[in-house]
Amino acid sequence: MKAIMKYLSVTVLMLACSTGWSFDFEEEFKKVIKDGVQKKIEEKSDAATSSALLGLVGISQEEEITIGRQIAGNLLGASALIKDQSLQIYVNNVGRWVASQSERPDLTWHFGVIESSDVNAFAAPGGYIFLTRGLYSLLQNEAELAGVLGHEIGHVIRKHHLKILQQSSLVDLGGKLISRRIGGNDKVQKLIGNGAEIVARSLDKNAEFEADRIAVVLAARAGYDAFALPEVLQQIGHFAKDDGSVALLFKTHPHPDDRLEKLGLVMNDRLEDVKGKTLVARFYRIKP
Amino acid sequence: MNSIRLGAVLFALLAMPAFAAETGSVIRTDGIKVEPFRDAKTIATLTVGDKVEIVKKKGGWLQIKSPKGNGWVHMLNVRKGGMRKDSGDIGGLLGMASGRAGTGKVVGTTGIRGLDEVELQSAKYNETELNLVESYAISRAEAQMFAIQGKLVARKFDYLPSPEVSPE
């Protein structure tokens, strides 16, 4: 049978490991961040909430964004953006509206559709979210897009990837900093490993189920049909297991049937009578 | 050449009996309701393994036909799958359409390609693309306007509890 979907994906962040760092490194890291890559910082109004959230992993929002930005830049090095400005702005509108329903409404969110025939989506810390042309092409309406983006937004707001980085040897710096030039911020790159490999890492299954639950609620809050994400999952579940375009997705996510079953356990009773829009007519179709 | 192949693929897709009624199997016991909402009258009960014919989807509900009766059941209590084939015909067609052969290797020169772990590991930071995506950022106020244009109205809903009892 064909089945499974994965789609949402992985992201990783790497911020978390400040415990292992020497004091000197921390100082240096802060300096790097100040004059380094990061240009976008959350608006002040979100500062209190974000500080509280970030306190859990000991990473400031500024650091989170710096890390996410490096990961996003690497991912875009592997697959560039589709050169269709109307598409990208449309996706940013939908994503920003959904993200506005989350507890981090004032983060500077970024969304992009990248040139890959794979079916997948990725989230990086700080609000960088990407989906592939392959996944976008499967979507039938705006509510489905909202659901897919909502899953990735869920990873960002719950800092799933940051937590992984915290536990990972990727962040075990031991003090030595590399100096070779690899583009972007060398020291941050050292934290996240090679290129954008961090987005190819699997999260805990429960983190994926949690992101699904967040996605359907954010979609419902935004006025969309909450059952659009399940529709996408069903479709991905119909892919053959050996189809290369879903290989990475299936490897890093629970089977779509499992995700649908988990959603059914909590959605049926609570969202069954909730009406929402699908906005088929407004959905932006990619030119082939 | 490529367009000929694409045409053949599209023709094959269209020619398939894919538009025949979709079927599914029941994965959780559920009542068949006469209307798609919680308090509607239940006319029969479907049990795990029952086959249904899917007529259409509406929100979280599927309109179905079955030997036990016709009506509406929860979408998530039905697994679509009557058309599954182990040979993976559909997957193969999709694979071709997306530029892949059965090996998972990327073929063709359309500029569209896969994204596997090796490619991600060796990815090089691209500041230009990053600046480009950041240039598309939408403000919260702009997104609000976009929502209004689509007649989307924000509502309050609590997050859903985890169905797992997971001791942390």
CB atoms < 10 A from the CB of A143, how many? 30
Q: Is the pLDDT of residue B130 over 50?
A: yes
| In the predicted structure, residue A145 carries a pLDDT above the cut 50 | yes
Does residue A41 fall inside a structural domain? yes
User: A215-257, pLDDT tens digit by residue?
Assistant: 999 999 999 999 999 999 999 998 988 888 999 999 999 999 9
Dihedrals φ, ψ of A271, to 5°?
-120, 5
Residue A276 is assigned to a structural domain of this protein = no
- CA-nearest residue to A236 within chain B is B91
Domain boundaries, chain B: 2-80
Per-chain mean pLDDT for chain B = 79
Mean pLDDT of A83-97: 98
CB contact under 8 A, A77 and B129: yes
How far lies B18's CA from each of A185, B12, B15, B90, in Å?
Answer: 50, 10, 8, 10
Beta-carbon contacts of A265 under 8 Å, excluding residues fewer than 6 positions away, are B163
ipTM of the complex: 0.77
Q: Which amino acid is at A283?
A: F
What residues in B contact A39, CB-CB < 8 Å?
Answer: 134
Split into its structural domains, chain A has a count of 1
Residue A19's pLDDT is 38
Query: Distance from CA of residue A235 to its chain's centroid?
Result: 20
For A68, nearest residue in chain B (alpha carbons): B130
pLDDT category, A107, cuts 50, 70, 90?
Answer: very high
Is A73 close to B115, i.e. CB distance below 8 A?
no
H helix intervals, chain B: 2-15, 89-97, 117-121, 127-135, 140-149
Q: Is A239 a domain residue?
A: yes
Q: Which amino acid is located at B65 in the chain?
A: K
Does the beta-carbon distance from B160 to A264 stay under 8 Å?
no
Nearest CB neighbour to A245, from listed B95, B111, B123:
B95
Mean pLDDT of the region A110-119:
96
**Is residue A119 packed enough to be buried (19+ CB in 10 Å), middle (13-18) or exposed (0-12)?**
buried
Smallest CA-to-CA distance from B31 within B17, B20, B46 is with B46
Confidence of residue B94 (pLDDT cuts 50, 70, 90): very low
Query: What is the model's pLDDT at position A168?
Result: 62
- pLDDT-based confidence at residue B98 (cuts at 50, 70, 90): very low
Question: Which of the 8 DSSP states describes residue B28?
Answer: S
Interface contacts (A, B; CB < 8 Å): 277
| A72, B133 Cβ separation under 8 angstroms | yes
* CB-based contact B91 A2, cutoff 8 Å: yes
User: Stretch A138-164: mean pLDDT, rounded?
Assistant: 95
Name the residue among B115, B156, B162 with its Cβ closest to that of A116. Answer: B115
pLDDT tens for each residue of A67-80: 999 999 999 999 99
Residues 192-251 of A with CB under 8 A from B: 193-197, 199-200, 206, 209-210, 213-214, 216-217, 220-227, 230-231, 234, 237-245, 247-248
* In-domain check, residue A48: yes
pLDDT of the residue at A197: 83
Cα B156 from Cα B115, distance rounded (Å): 37
Instruction: Kindly report whether the global pTM for this prediction surpasses the value 0.95.
Output: no
| The CATH homologous superfamily of the domain defined by B2-80 | SH3 Domains (2.30.30.40)
Helix (H, G, I), strand (E, B) or coil at B19: helix
Neighbours of B32 (CB within 10 A): 22
Q: Which residues of A touch B133 (CB under 8 A)?
A: 72, 76, 81, 88, 110-112, 128
The pLDDT of residue A188 is above 60: yes
Distance from CA of B2 to the nearest CA of A (A): 13
Contact A224, A278 (CB under 8 A): yes
Task: Tell me whether residues B130 and A81 touch, CB distance under 8 A.
Answer: no
pLDDT of residue A20: 39
* Structural domain of A48: 9-271
Give me the residues of A, 16-75, that contact B with CB < 8 A: 39-40, 69-70, 72-75
Q: Which residues contact A72 (CB under 8 A, 6 or more apart)?
A: A110, A124, A128, A130, B130, B133
**Which residue on chain A is closest to B166 by alpha carbon?**
A206
Contact residues on chain B for A272, CB-CB shorter than 8 A: 37-38, 59-61, 74
CA angle B37, B39, B41 (to 5 degrees): 95
